[in-house]
Amino acid sequence: MKIVFIADLHLSKSVYGVMSKEIPSLPFRTVDFMKSFEWMIDKAINDIKPDLLVIGGDVYDYYEASNTVRGFFSNQVSKLITNKIPCVTLIGNHDICQRSHALNDIQELKLKTIKIVDRPLITEFKEHMLCLFPYSLDIEQKKMTLQEAFNKFSEEVKSLPPDKPALFFGHFGIYGASMNEYKKEELEEDEPNEDNEPNEANEDNKEVTRKTTTKLDYNNSRKEDIHTSQLDDMGVDYIFMGDFHKHQRLNTKTKGWYSGSIERTGFTEMGQVKGFMVYDSNAQETKEYGKCSFIEYPNCRPMIEIKGNLAKMKSEFQKYDSKKYNGAIVRLVFHGTSNELLDFSSGIDEFKQEIVKKINPIHVFTDQKSPKDKIQSQAATALEKEIMERGHFTDKDILDVLNEMVGEKVKDKKEQEETMKIADLVYKETKELV
């Protein structure tokens, strides 16, 4: 038996405000994700020929996807129906709101071969037990925590007969798993002053702006999420996960993976491989993937990120292959002194023309980094990444942001406390009215 597992489609992805040249009514990033999903569906139908296709949540990037995007998804599902391939779709955190989920329209059709799973479910398919754990309304509405819902479901899984293989499919965060890669720049020496002159301690060292770049993982630190030991305790044979966008092997005794998103969602995923998983019960086991394999999507949107002053950017850009990076998204991040900023501002338009001539980018944008307090910057980055992966704000996120804003504006501690009490009260009353 073969099962294709595709997760984190985010079909309504829309950033940058630039429309597609191929489908002018849609943002180009939406079209990027649509192309990827169509490629994967066609690859599954024509080459893999699975007995079942499972979508691991986050079909859409947000609950209210456009009719065009919904119609596209329905069209891809209809291909599966035509080729007699049943499809199971888990609801993800991006698909849901307080009252319903974005796939309710398809669920209401009650199609025999298309199953929308919005609550934990165990079902049998071709001598295999499928353990399906979506992001449910009960969790979104806070009727129960993720831990409570998972522990209840885990007990059901543990009671399954041992004579049939059990496959777990879920959509949630795993404590300690890699959420995304990012780059950290570290100064080797003291930074120069505004006039680009060396500090007194470094009079003989003119190379004071050298930097090292380290590639790091941003790991999930939410202890309230599911731990790897809990996954192992279920006793299933394989684990397939959606939610985190980086394709990765889980740190579990049981063979398991995050399949990863179908396209690079942003610059923190630049260079990551994207694709989907295949489980084949008749395949010969390998050390890395067992009876599974990973099929890579070869057409991800290329991305270029260049940091520094204008001269450094121009030098770095010459290294990029025009064919490999044709149609890329280009991010130019200025780092430098005030004098270099003047050069950057006066020369950036000409540099953009060079970029357009060489690689015909889909979009070029600039970003100027302002100096911040290091601890404050790290905390803000961590919170931002956590919210982006979770797909929505929690009460704690909103109050944390309010607390940070109050702390910046109000210096008196007692006044800060009183202001936050009022903010908390107003927020709770507003929430009750919505």
Are 169 and 90 contained in the same domain? yes
Q: Is the pLDDT of residue 199 over 90?
A: no
Q: Which residues contact 287 (CB under 8 A, 6 or more apart)?
A: none
Query: Does residue 100 fall inside a structural domain?
Result: yes
Determine the average pLDDT of the residues in 70-77. Answer: 96
pLDDT tens per residue, range 301-330: 999 999 999 999 999 999 999 999 999 999
Query: Does residue 205 fall inside a structural domain?
Result: no
pLDDT band at 235 (very low <50, low <70, confident <90, very high): very high
Q: Are 360 and 329 in contact (CB under 8 A)?
A: no
Q: Is the pLDDT of residue 371 over 70?
A: no
CA 363, 248, 9, 398 dihedral sign is negative
Look up the CATH number of the domain holding residue 253. Answer: 3.60.21.10
Task: Provide the pLDDT for residue 421.
Answer: 76
Are 275 and 163 contained in the same domain? yes
Query: Does residue 185 fall inside a structural domain?
Result: no
Query: Does residue 61 fall inside a structural domain?
Result: yes
Count of domains forming the chain: 3
Query: Does residue 104 fall inside a structural domain?
Result: yes
CB neighbour class for 230 (10 Å; exposed up to 12, middle 13-18, buried from 19): middle
Look up the CATH number of the domain holding residue 355. Answer: 3.30.160.720
Domain end call among 246, 272, 296: 296
Determine the average pLDDT of the residues in 161-189. Answer: 79
Q: Is the pLDDT of residue 285 over 50?
A: yes
Are 153 and 242 contained in the same domain? yes
Mean pLDDT of the chain: 86
To the question of pTM greater than 0.85 for the whole model, the response is: no
Q: Is the pLDDT of residue 422 over 50?
A: yes
Q: Is the pLDDT of residue 73 over 50?
A: yes
pLDDT band at 64 (very low <50, low <70, confident <90, very high): confident
Task: Provide the pLDDT for residue 379.
Answer: 54
Task: Provide the pLDDT for residue 258.
Answer: 98
Are 419 and 364 contained in the same domain? no
Determine the average pLDDT of the residues in 349-373. Answer: 85
Are 89 and 75 contained in the same domain? yes
Residue 382 sits in which domain range?
Answer: 374-433
CB neighbour class for 85 (10 Å; exposed up to 12, middle 13-18, buried from 19): buried
Residue of higher predicted confidence among 76 and 338: 76
Distance CA 332, CA 404 (A): 29
SS (H, E, C) the chain: CEEEEECCCCCCCCCCCCECCCCCCCEHHHHHHHHHHHHHHHHHHHHHCCCEEEECCCCCCCCCCCHHHHHHHHHHHHHHHHCCCCEEEECCHHHECCCCECCHHHHHCCCCCEEEECCCEEEEECCEEEEEECCCHHHHCCCCCHHHHHHHHHHHHHCCCCCCCEEEEEECCECCCEEEEEEEEEECCCCCCCCCCCCHHHCCCCCCCCEEEEEEEEECCCCCCECHHHHHHCCCCEEEEECCCCCEECCCCCEEEECCCCCCCCHHHCCCCCEEEEEECCCCCECCCECEEEEECCCCCCEEEEEECHHHHHHHHCCCCCCCCCCCEEEEEECCCHHHHHHHHHHHHHHHHHHHHHHCCCEEEEEECCCCCHHHHHHHHHHHHHHHHHCCCCHHHHHHHHHHHHHHHCCCHHHHHHHHHHHHHHHHHHHHHC
Determine the average pLDDT of the residues in 36-59. Answer: 98
pLDDT band at 216 (very low <50, low <70, confident <90, very high): low
Task: Provide the pLDDT for residue 386.
Answer: 57
Task: Provide the pLDDT for residue 209.
Answer: 45
Residue of higher predicted confidence among 68 and 411: 68
Q: Worst-scoring range by mean pLDDT, 239-248, 357-366, 396-405?
A: 396-405
Of all residues in the chain, what percent carry a pLDDT higher than 70?
A: 79
Q: Is the pLDDT of residue 392 over 70?
A: no
Task: Provide the pLDDT for residue 408.
Answer: 60
Are 283 and 311 contained in the same domain? no
Task: Provide the pLDDT for residue 426.
Answer: 73
Strand partners, 19: 27
Q: Is the pLDDT of residue 190 over 80?
A: no
Are 388 and 258 contained in the same domain? no
Task: Provide the pLDDT for residue 428.
Answer: 66
